[in-house]
Amino acid sequence: MGFWDQKTEGILRSFAIIGLVLTVLLLGFDKQTTQIFHIDKKASFRSLHAFVVIMYVDSLAAAYNILQICNCWISAQPKGTSKLGSGSHICLFWASFLLDQAVAYLVFAANTAGMEAALLAVTGAHDFQWMKLCNRFERFCYQVGGAFLCGYGAFFAMCAICVISSFNLFRHYLPNLFFRLKSNE
């Protein structure tokens, strides 16, 4: 992998980490108390189990991306005559490719499940006699919406990372057919 590939991947992983951490912070510190029928009700991320799942998934995804940034930094350091793309390291490219895919899909699934739960809070469900909650907890709902924007932004950055990791993996198989990588060497 060239220097620019590692630099681009590092920048994208940094954006993903920022988005994931912002999602966790916005959900984690989001609390609002209001009075409903003379009873104080408190809304927090623990109010919906989907938000708790988002907190765990996004925290683990941020930690994974931090480890991968360390890997990018270590592999960018100048080495002697060893070549990272040798056959013994193909399993590392496969592991990175599969883990990047899994983490991106988990972040997408968790944020989408949370979005579905939040949509019920916005619209309510008249058939089940569930009232709209966002007209009572307005600030809470706006902050949750911001958390979802950050979460989906991190997901799109991780999609771009998946493209880079798939390119880094599959360029080792038939390089003369794909992009003529070995023609200049």
Does a structural domain hold residue 178? no
Rounded to two decimals, the pTM is 0.75
> What pLDDT score does 128 carry?
47
> What pLDDT score does 33 carry?
60
State which residues form the domain around 7. Answer: 3-77+88-173
Does a structural domain hold residue 127? yes
pLDDT digits (tens, 9 = 90+) for 83-141: 444 555 777 888 888 999 999 999 999 999 888 877 776 666 555 445 566 666 677 77
* Residue 93 vs residues 20, 88, 147, 162, 184: alpha-carbon distances, Å: 24, 10, 32, 12, 23
Does a structural domain hold residue 44? yes
Does a structural domain hold residue 82? no
Residue among 17, 6, 12 nearest 73 (CA): 6
Indicate the length of the chain as a whole number: 185
> What pLDDT score does 27 carry?
84
> For the chain, how many structural domains are there in total?
1
Residue 42 host element (H or E):
strand 39-43
> What pLDDT score does 141 carry?
76
